[in-house]
Amino acid sequence: MERISIKAEKRGSAGKGTARSLRRKGIIPAILYREGSSLPIQLDKAELGRFLHHSGGEQVIVSLAFPEGENRLALVKDYQVDPIRRELLHTDFFEVSLKEMIKVVAAVRILGEPIGVKRDGGTLQYGVSQIEIECLPDSIPGHIDVDVTGLAVGHSLHVRDLSLPEGITVLTPAEEVVATVITPKEEEVAAAAPAAETAEPEVIKKGKEKEGEETKAKAEK
């Protein structure tokens, strides 16, 4: 798995005021988590921004290099961005060991045009866009490619059909659908289904009204 090195420093003080002061200097406050403990750190905004842009949302191991000569391997757990200015505000890292299995989420990438769409006019529907896996950090795939070119109308690809390298255990249920091709007729039926359901209460109501009228007529007799 690809690994990138970023310079980091331990951060003594915390709080919103300190965080704002750091960001004005081009420094991003962050937290490094590890087995219930946390370490406040700080990183260069430009360097961290390049890393996040390069990773493109995929799981990439980063080596946090501290001035004392210490290096810690970690994955990006989460990061915050200003909703208006779209500027990076804070980042959370999760420290990992190359010898310990971890659970992560990997993105699913659909490739190709199904024969059921190209030849038979079907429609490709997407299922899960990511799956949960367990493996060693160095075995984490950036993404999982799924070739759907052979998918015919009425057929589906499930999580159990995915081909993954040895050493990776899939935790997402095997029956989850990744992609399926349906006919235009099935699409029309699916779209019309809600209308049929809304008509049912009206029929029941009318039936009850008719029963009420019959009961009333018997009483009058």
| pLDDT tens-digit series, residues 22-34 | 999 999 999 999 9
Please name the residues in contact with 115: beta carbons below 8 A apart, sequence gap of 6 or more. 149, 150, 151, 152
Q: Is the pLDDT of residue 208 over 50?
A: no
Question: What is the Cα–Cα distance from 153 to 115, expressed in whole angstroms?
Answer: 8
CA dihedral of 151, 156, 159, 161, whole degrees rounded to 10: -50
DSSP SS3 for 151: coil
% of residues, the chain, pLDDT over 70: 81
Protein fold of 102-182: RNA Polymerase Alpha Subunit; Chain A, domain 2 (2.170.120)
**Predicted local distance difference test score (pLDDT) of residue 187:** 56
Of 155-159, 179-183, 202-206, 213-217, minimum mean pLDDT range: 202-206
Report the residue count for the chain: 221
Question: What is the Cα–Cα distance from 142 to 151, expressed in whole angstroms?
Answer: 24
Closest among 76, 93, 82 to 37, alpha carbons compared: 93
Of 49-63, 78-92, 105-119, 185-199, minimum mean pLDDT range: 185-199
Q: Where are the domains of the chain?
A: 3-95, 102-182, 194-221
**Predicted local distance difference test score (pLDDT) of residue 171:** 98
Confidence band for 198, pLDDT divided at 50, 70 and 90: very low
Of 49-58, 89-98, 172-181, 197-206, minimum mean pLDDT range: 197-206
* Mean pLDDT, rounded, for 122-141: 95
**Predicted local distance difference test score (pLDDT) of residue 2:** 67
**Predicted local distance difference test score (pLDDT) of residue 58:** 84
**Predicted local distance difference test score (pLDDT) of residue 190:** 60
DSSP SS3 for 60: coil
Q: Within a 10 A sphere around the Cβ of 140, how many other Cβ atoms? A: 21
DSSP SS3 for 71: strand
| pLDDT tens-digit series, residues 70-90 | 999 999 999 999 999 999 999
| Measured CA distances, 136 to 5, 132, 202 (Å) | 19, 13, 58
Q: Which residue has the higher pLDDT, 203 or 21?
A: 21
Amino acid letter, residue 41: I
**Predicted local distance difference test score (pLDDT) of residue 172:** 98
Q: Which residues pair with 78 in a beta bridge?
A: 92
* Mean pLDDT, rounded, for 159-172: 96
Amino acid letter, residue 214: E
* Mean pLDDT, rounded, for 198-207: 43
> What CATH class does 3-95 carry?
mainly beta
Q: Is the pLDDT of residue 211 over 70?
A: no
Q: Which residue has the higher pLDDT, 77 or 207?
A: 77
